[in-house]
Chain A
Amino acid sequence: MSANLIVSPGMGALEASLPEERIRACEGEVSSTRWLLVSIQIFALIAYGTALAFLIKTTVGTLVLFSLLAPVLVLITVVTLVAVGIYEIRRQHGVSGFEVYNTGQIIFRQGELGDCAYFIQSGEVEVIQHENGSENVIAKLSEGEYFGEKALIRPEPRSATTRAVTQTRVAVIRKGSLFTMVIVASSGVPRQGRRKPQPMNW
């Protein structure tokens, strides 16, 4: 296993295969979204509280809180919800982002459950199949090619391990984003270096 990977007790095989920066990024994303949603729910509760206080006893104080503070809180809540919703949709259905793997780093392992495909923007990747304890390199992929696309179609384990041969930059494409994949494939690679994608048997 690469020295760049984080491994902790209880960590799943998929997580163990992810590079450190990707795990940190994912944890950061989940955490920030989660706390945002908790915050806006507390805002909503405060807004409800001001409304109830106004209904129970109408004074200048409760009126000001309800008519000035509550709309601000509700506005923040709605805007945040819309932003988080758009962000989540993009995260789940669009290009998740770009990742860079160092030489020798595992991108995913044979047997893992996959949830995304990879489009090579630069660098080289080798596809390795493990059979009876031996390691067979069955393909080498480079700029303009993609791999792991079966995970977008069928929930099957990865049929091979992929490893970066050189420093490799990939676009990560999640389920339901074949359209996005086409866009990335047609625009993300310099025309001269583009190769016709080859169908994979793994």
Chain B
Amino acid sequence: MSIAQTLVLFPGIVRAQDTSRFDPVEHYGARFLTGLIVAGALLVIYSLLRYRGNTSGIASWAVLILGAAIIPLVVSSAGGVLVMERSQRVELCNSCHLAMKPYVDDMKNPKSQSLAAIHYANRYIADNQCYVCHTAYGMFGTLQAKKQGLSDVYRYYTHGFTLPIKMSHPYSNNDCLKCHSGSAKFLATHKRDREAMLADEVSCMQCHEDDNPPHNVGTN
């Protein structure tokens, strides 16, 4: 297998080589699941070829139950952890080509002056940039994001959206302030409106949107 194919098929392997970004859940979880999947699929294929749906003895039942029930249950439940992890990735958002790709392209454009691009270029957010900026803080923020994500996926596949897409609710200051509110720069430069911003009465975008819109989609 060439290096290019390896990069395409197993991006996790390449990511793991960057030790500063090593994620044990992703690294070991993916390998563990792959091993289980291969073992389970081989068991099922063996059962199909050897027994052809007959259950003549304990061995045939054991192979059947292991391959078709126990291992799939483990894969489904353990895979849920990876689903939660990977559903936060930029690549996942980017796979909604019609709706999201322009936003991700802008974010990754080093010449863009959008807030997303500046945050991405400077790695103010190390990973999962879409998810971090569009998810409220804490456990309920994650749950809310998953619920919204499912709704978005449904709309995407049923073409229940119109372009350009718009946010279904105003962008909350909390999504900015969960990182910025305690920073020295913010404290030094936002003395007058700080309380109003924390109370979500004055939007961050009122001042920042003119020079640095959240996304420069369709303008660059």
Which residues in A have some Cβ–Cβ distance to B below 8 Å? Answer: 30, 33-38, 40-41, 43-45, 47-48, 51-52, 54-61, 63-64, 66-67, 70-71, 73-74, 77-78, 81, 84-85, 88
Contact = CB atoms under 8 A, between A and B. Distances in A.
A60 B147 CA distance: 14
A196 B87 CA distance: 72
Given A38-B53, A78-B69, A63 B64 contact: no
A51 B55 contact: no
A37 B56 CA distance: 13
Given A41-B47, A48-B72, A55 B30 contact: yes
Contacts of A43: 68
Given A47-B72, A55-B37, A59-B95, A34 B79 contact: no
Given A34-B54, A41-B67, A56-B10, A48 B75 contact: yes
Interface stretch (B38-46, B162-170, B179-187): B38-46
Given A45-B44, A63-B86, A74 B76 contact: yes
B33 interface: yes
B82 interface: yes
B95 A61 contact: yes
The interface centre, meaning the residue of A43, A44, A66 with most chain B CB atoms within 10 A of its CB, is A44
7 closest A-B pairs by beta carbon, nearest first, are: A59-B95, A34-B53, A38-B53, A44-B68, A37-B53, A74-B72, A58-B86
Given A36-B53, A48-B40, A71-B76, 5 more contacts: A47-B76, A54-B83, A58-B89, A60-B96, A66-B83
Given A55-B30, A74-B72, A74-B73, A41 B83 contact: no
Contacts of A88: 55
Interface in B184-208: none
A16 to B, nearest CB: 22
A67 B83 contact: yes
B159 to A, nearest CB: 14
10 contacts: A34-B54, A36-B53, A40-B68, A44-B44, A52-B34, A54-B82, A56-B9, A56-B10, A59-B91, A73-B72
Interface string B89-122: 1011001100000000000000000000000000
Contacts of A55: 30, 33-34, 37, 82
Contacts of B86: 54, 58, 63
A30 B8 CA distance: 46
A113 to B, nearest CB: 17
B52 interface: yes
A35 B72 contact: no
A84 B68 CA distance: 13
A25 to B, nearest CB: 18
Contacts of A45: 41, 44-45
Contacts of B8: 57
Contacts of B48: 38, 41
A48 B37 contact: yes
A36 B92 CA distance: 36
A35 B53 contact: yes
B108 to A, nearest CB: 17
